[in-house]
């Protein structure tokens, strides 16, 4: 009788363990995944503190991204612009006498989108700090936020929208813990540092909060305390 009872308990224990294994909750899938985005930096280590290398950022006016490659591998010099679903490669003759490690001031890159000329003026300090892009696209008022990529710091760019009492484009470039938010109708990028991995921006009456869901999707809220408007926003990584 004892042996039968022990056998029964053993079978019950095994069945219970199997049942628990079967009931394990599967991991929640990410709400969005960028299948074309790279996961490691393209920038080469020898350009980490130089004006050469890779620069990436977001465009608002309508929406897009930009990536500049300056002697990152070989002697290639180009700017790749994605804007409203169209792509363009911009080239320059402004850097014919330039060498890596020298500052760049208003180097003119040109190309075409839909048969119209697109121009970008690029400037950066000799050590790669404080890059800036002034982009001209006919029929659009454009704002750009751009960062230098290094061999240890991948630049991630998110495109999205904000809705609520107002609505428009909401794009964000992230370099490590630093971020720049550019919105439709905004005068300049809103710059900040992630706090515990989250966006928590509060300046000049503008409050923006956001939290990542996975690696390629972020969502949050916005508020303008000056005119008492508010709403939500989302962003998908596209570069």
pLDDT digits 0-9 by tens, 81-93: 999 999 999 999 9
203 C-beta neighbours (distance < 10 Å), count: 10
pLDDT at 3 exceeding the cut of 70: no
Q: Is 54 exposed, middle or buried (0-12, 13-18, 19+ CB in 10 A)?
A: buried
pLDDT at 7 exceeding the cut of 90: no
57 C-beta neighbours (distance < 10 Å), count: 27
pLDDT at 70 exceeding the cut of 70: yes
Diameter of the chain by CA atoms?
95
pLDDT at 9 exceeding the cut of 80: no
Mean pLDDT of 95-106: 96
Question: d(Cα 47, Cα 41) in Å, to the nearest integer?
Answer: 12
Question: d(Cα 105, Cα 218) in Å, to the nearest integer?
Answer: 34
Q: How far is CA 84 from CA 55, 80, 169, 170, 189, in A?
A: 20, 13, 12, 14, 20
Model pLDDT for residues 186-230, shown as the tens digit of each residue: 778 999 999 999 999 999 999 999 999 999 999 999 999 999 999
pLDDT at 18 exceeding the cut of 60: no
pLDDT at 14 exceeding the cut of 70: no
Mean pLDDT of 39-43: 97
pLDDT at 26 exceeding the cut of 80: no
pTM of the model: 0.88
């Amino acid at each position: 009788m004892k042996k039968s009872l022990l056998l029964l308990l053993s079978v019950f224990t095994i069945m219970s363990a199997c049942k628990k294994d079967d009931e394990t909750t599967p991991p929640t899938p990410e709400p969005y995944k960028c299948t074309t985005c790279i996961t490691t930096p393209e920038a080469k280590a020898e350009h980490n503190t130089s004006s050469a290398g890779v620069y990436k950022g977001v465009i608002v006016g309508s929406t897009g991204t930009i990536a500049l490659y300056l002697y990152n591998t070989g002697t290639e010099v180009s700017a790749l612009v994605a804007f409203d679903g169209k792509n363009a490669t911009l080239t320059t003759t402004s850097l014919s006498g330039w060498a890596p490690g020298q500052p760049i001031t208003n180097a003119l890159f040109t190309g075409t989108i839909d048969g119209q000329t697109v121009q970008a003026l690029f400037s950066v300090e000799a050590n790669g700090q404080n890059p800036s892009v002034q982009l001209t696209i006919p029929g659009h008022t454009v704002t750009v936020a751009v960062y230098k990529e290094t061999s240890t710091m991948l630049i991630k760019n998110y495109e999205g929208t904000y809705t609520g009492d107002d609505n428009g484009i909401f794009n964000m470039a992230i370099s490590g813990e630093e971020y720049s938010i550019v919105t439709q109708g905004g005068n300049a990028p809103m710059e900040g540092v992630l706090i515990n991995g989250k966006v928590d921006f509060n300046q000049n009456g503008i409050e923006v909060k956001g939290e990542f869901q996975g690696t390629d999707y972020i969502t949050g809220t916005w508020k303008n305390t000056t005119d008492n408007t508010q709403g939500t926003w989302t962003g998908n990584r596209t570069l």
